[in-house]
Amino acid sequence: MVRVHESSIKRIDASLKSQPDQHLDFLVKKSVIEKILYLKEKKNVLILGHNYMEPLIFQLSEKNERGDSLALSQMAARSNKPIILFNGVRFMAETAKILNPGKKVLISDLEAGCSLADPFTAEDVVAYKLKFPDAPVVTYINSYVEVKAESDYCCTSSNCLKVVKYAAKEAKTNRVIFFPDSFMGKNIQNELKQEGTSIEIIYPGKYDDKFGKCEVHEKFTAEQIREIREQHKIPKSSEDSAVLVHWECKPEVLKEADFFGSTSQMANYIKENPRLKKVYLATECEMAANLASEFPQVEFIRSCSIFCEHMRRITLEKILYSLENEVYEIEVNPSLRKRALAPIKRMLAIK
Ligand code: SF4
């Protein structure tokens, strides 16, 4: 038992060595990290780490326990560990619970919300369904169980385009309701237009004054990206440098990117382009810090001060408290869970 715990400490130490600030933090917080890793082993806990967690928290998870929200929920479903501690925000831990009703799912701060998920209710989805009765509802994973329960399909930023097209084809319609991210809805619409597809995406803000946005990704502007390119010498379509942008950014920001996609797709892009030497990521800043230990040969431009305050509610001290006392458990109403599972399963079945 102790051997595994010690090897994890050595792994964290080695991963952070190339980043002096992070490594110093690690030395300062080493005793808390040791206690968490000890409890992880003793209580047989799966600790899942989202890409946006600060590096010390991200490193509590092994490589096969890290990723984006859907990948993490799927890891949870495959695991036989009785307790899951989700280092991310509440809708993510809730999705893990929907997929794993028999397991104890903990999150160290139940108030860790999301500006996309928090403002939308089941009633909002029902109102759209009444207004556009023939259009299937595709809901982004950044939503709570009540909203998922009213939806036909779930999607993630990795598969949104594919799911939207599938939903339209299955329903034999050319209109799809997309919830709740307005920028992503517009971005999907633009992509469909480019492909010459006639599907219309109905998203919050298109025909009403409701608007769904990620308070992190909405901060990036096209002008900033152009400045970063100039300052750091990252020309468009270069072989050894790139600007990668998340789907949740504004459409004009996507236009400035060399590549846009989900967090996992951005990491894959770097893996698949080994000539890259310099990368700027238009997404939560901790993602670059975490990728820096995975790709030490790449320089990640750190002129970034855009953090998710919801993600930052998760701290090492709170994690330790939650694990020690097995508190802050995610509870989901069983009948809602069943209804919310159906759109997730439909999404997973799409090849
Ligand atoms: S980064 Fe944006 S989408 Fe992700 S949890 Fe924070 S507010 Fe929500």
- For position 274, which CATH number holds? 3.40.50.10800
pLDDT of res. 73: 81
Out of 213, 237, 266, pick the residue that ends a domain: 213
Taking the C-alpha atoms of residue 192 and residue 285, their distance in angstroms, rounded to an integer, is 29
pLDDT of res. 217: 96
Is residue 322 within 8 Å of residue 328, measured between CB atoms? yes
Q: Which of 70, 210, 202, 206 is nearest to 138 (CA)?
A: 202
**Mind listing the pLDDT tens digit of every residue in the chain (351 residues)?**
456 788 999 999 999 988 898 999 999 999 999 999 999 999 999 999 999 999 999 999 999 999 988 789 889 889 999 999 999 999 999 999 999 999 999 999 999 999 999 999 999 999 999 999 999 999 999 999 999 999 999 999 999 999 999 999 999 999 999 999 999 999 999 999 999 999 999 999 999 999 999 999 999 999 999 999 999 999 999 999 999 999 999 999 999 999 999 999 999 999 999 999 999 999 999 999 999 989 999 999 976 788 999 999 999 999 999 999 999 999 999 999 999 999 999 999 998
Same domain, 34 and 88: yes
Same domain, 227 and 208: no
Q: Which of 238, 237, 252 is nearest to 282 (CA)?
A: 252
Residue from 311, 312, 313, 314 to probe ligand 1 pocket by mutation (most atoms less than 8 Å from CB):
311
Out of 197, 213, 229, pick the residue that ends a domain: 213
Out of 193, 213, 233, pick the residue that ends a domain: 213
Same domain, 68 and 152: no
Atom of ligand 1 nearest to the CA of 89: 5
Atom of ligand 1 nearest to the CA of 310: 6
Same domain, 197 and 281: no
Which of helix, strand or coil describes residue 300? strand
Same domain, 35 and 89: yes
With a Cβ cut-off of 6 Å, ligand 1 is lined by: 52, 89, 114-116, 142, 214-216, 284, 308, 310-311
Same domain, 128 and 205: yes
| Residue-number span of the structural domain to which 94 is assigned | 2-112+311-325
Does residue 306 fall inside a structural domain? Answer: no
Regarding pTM above 0.75, the answer is yes
Residue from 217, 249, 281 to probe ligand 1 pocket by mutation (most atoms less than 8 Å from CB):
217
Same domain, 25 and 55: yes
One-letter amino acid for residue 223 of the chain: E
Does residue 117 fall inside a structural domain? Answer: no
The total number of structural domains in the chain stands at 3
Residue from 109, 142, 147, 290 to probe ligand 1 pocket by mutation (most atoms less than 8 Å from CB):
142
Does residue 96 fall inside a structural domain? Answer: yes
Q: How far is the CA of 306 from the centre of ligand 1 (A)?
A: 11
One-letter amino acid for residue 177 of the chain: I
Q: How far is the CA of 308 from the centre of ligand 1 (A)?
A: 6
Taking CA atoms only, the protein residue closest to ligand 1 atom 5 is: 114
pLDDT of res. 3: 62
Atom of ligand 1 nearest to the CA of 215: 7
Taking the C-alpha atoms of residue 115 and residue 129, their distance in angstroms, rounded to an integer, is 23
Taking CA atoms only, the protein residue closest to ligand 1 atom 8 is: 114
Does residue 208 fall inside a structural domain? Answer: yes
Does residue 23 fall inside a structural domain? Answer: yes
pLDDT of res. 2: 52
Does residue 165 fall inside a structural domain? Answer: yes
Same domain, 183 and 100: no
Q: How far is the CA of 2 from the centre of ligand 1 (A)?
A: 36
Same domain, 209 and 221: no
Same domain, 163 and 248: no
Q: Which of 224, 219, 248, 247 is nearest to 234 (CA)?
A: 224
Does residue 349 fall inside a structural domain? Answer: no
pLDDT of res. 302: 77
Does residue 343 fall inside a structural domain? Answer: no
Same domain, 285 and 242: yes
Same domain, 191 and 222: no
Q: How far is the CA of 328 from the centre of ligand 1 (A)?
A: 20
